[in-house]
Amino acid sequence: MTDAPALRARLVDVLRDDGGLTRDDLALAFATVPREVFLAEGFHDSDAGLLRPGDEDFLAGAYRNDALVTKLDNGRPVSSSSQPSLMALMIEELGVTAGMRVLEIGAGTGYNAALMSAVGADVTSVDVQPDVAARAAAALAAAGVTGARVRVGDGYLGEPAGAPYDRVMVTVGVTGVSPHWLAQLVPGGLMVAPVTHAGNNPVLRVWSQPADGRAAPGWPARADIWADGVCGAGFMAAAGPLGARYPWAHPAPVRGPAEIVPTLRLPARWRTALNGLRYHDLWFAIGAWDRRTTGAQFDGGTGCVLLDETRTGGAAIRADGAIVAAGPHAEDYATDAGILIDRWVDEGMPAIQQWRAAMVLAGDPEAPIYVPRDWSL
């Protein structure tokens, strides 16, 4: 299939089947906004290399339900077009509707801003990379989008000139939420952001209590900024204050060719392996309960591990509940991993959406961020 409108229609069907797209106005946006225009410089395909407009597989690739890498720096992805199903889910979770003013942190290709503009929002997108911002602005102009603009700047600072905003959409992986974004939100405004947790960047919904400080019935009242889980996800990591570490953070994920080489294996617990979403539910829970949790490669795959201090040992948990462990304390780590799996099962196998945490200030004292503390069901 090489007809763009037909490819867009098929993408809408895929997104509806995926479950993240339920709104008719957003479906119309996906059916009409030309994603290929926002990929004018091409994208990197793992099999075909760089695909550019005019290449045989370019148009079909542009309408896959995949994240598409659009910029590399020494072989490392530094900018992309997010997976459309994740865009749809985040826009719906944020409740972006006509007339709202939206601050977007991370311009990417400009496609996400165009979708929000297509449902009637007024979007200000901020990106620290001048070339990325320039390409996004050019693509928005080429697509005839008038309700979105791109600014070059430090995302940590937001864009005070356009404040106040009804919503904030963050499309880069951060270890915490900037106080500037919260200050630029209207009272009762909402934010979605992919915040680092146990080696991933699950999307969180961030909100504040009413100005009088009273919590709704059943809600704890120890903080006024809260985060609720939305879904598992992976995003490119931000640098600077938005990527700052803090004392109770999980270990950084193990990247690159190094991997846990198992010396101890425990059998699968489930006949049918958890799918991707449910595996991320398990991963999130284990990270909420154990600060040793992160991501690492093992047995040719990447997943949830309890990492030891050497960063080459610990216990990894497979999607079928099997445990593989390595290092001088492999047996102890495998036992702990099994206890955590049992706990998740005993709690009813909770999904990411069932978790909540208070947000507290941490990170660089000169440029602090709000980070989750003490996740609870």
Does the structure show a pLDDT above 70 at 318? yes
CB 291 within 8 A of CB 276: no
- pLDDT for 20: 85
CB 80 within 8 A of CB 106: no
Kindly report the length of the chain: 377
Burial category of 45 from C-beta neighbours within 10 Å (exposed 0-12, middle 13-18, buried 19 and up):
middle
* 208 is annotated as an active-site residue: no
Q: Which helix (H) or strand (E) holds 269?
A: none
CB count in 10 Å sphere of residue 265: 13
Q: Distances from the Cα of 332 to the Cαs of 54, 311, 321, 353, in angstroms?
A: 56, 16, 17, 30
Rounded to whole angstroms, the Cα distance separating 304 from 295 reads 5
Does the structure show a pLDDT above 60 at 109? yes
- What SS3 class is residue 66? coil
Q: How confident is the model at residue 221 (pLDDT cuts 50, 70, 90)?
A: very low
Query: Where is mean pLDDT largest: 42-46, 59-63, 67-71?
Result: 59-63
CB 106 within 8 A of CB 127: yes
Does the structure show a pLDDT above 80 at 48? no
| Pairing verdict, β 356-364 and 225-231 | antiparallel
Mean pLDDT, residues 305-316: 94
Q: Which residues, in sequence order, are bridge partners of residue 370?
A: 177, 361
Say whether pTM exceeds 0.85: yes
Write the pLDDT tens digit of every residue in 114-124.
999 999 999 99
CB 35 within 8 A of CB 81: yes
- pLDDT for 258: 66
Does the structure show a pLDDT above 80 at 1? no
CB 322 within 8 A of CB 265: yes
* Positive or negative torsion for Cα 260, 261, 267, 271: positive
Q: How confident is the model at residue 129 (pLDDT cuts 50, 70, 90)?
A: very high
Beta strand ranges found along the chain (DSSP E): 43-45, 49-51, 68-73, 76-81, 101-105, 122-127, 148-152, 165-170, 185-194, 203-208, 225-231, 264-266, 293-298, 301-307, 314-317, 323-326, 356-364, 367-376
- Which one of the listed residues 79, 82, 125, 178 is annotated catalytic? 82
- pLDDT for 210: 57
- pLDDT for 35: 96
CB 242 within 8 A of CB 263: no
- pLDDT for 222: 42
Write the pLDDT tens digit of every residue in 71-93.
877 767 777 888 999 999 999 99
- Ordered domains of the chain (ranges, CATH): 4-243 (3.40.50.150), 264-346 (3.30.310)
- pLDDT for 282: 98
Rounded to whole angstroms, the Cα distance separating 314 from 328 reads 9
Running DSSP on this structure, what letter comes out for residue 40?
A: T
Q: How confident is the model at residue 224 (pLDDT cuts 50, 70, 90)?
A: confident
Does the structure show a pLDDT above 50 at 218? no
Residue type, 331: E
| Pairing verdict, β 165-170 and 101-105 | parallel
Q: Distances from the Cα of 182 to the Cαs of 15, 45, 78, 193, 308, in angstroms?
A: 30, 37, 26, 12, 36
Rounded to whole angstroms, the Cα distance separating 98 from 377 reads 33
* Positive or negative torsion for Cα 327, 332, 336, 338: positive
Does the structure show a pLDDT above 70 at 2? no
CB-based contacts of 61, cutoff 8 Å, min separation 6 = 43, 45, 48, 51, 68
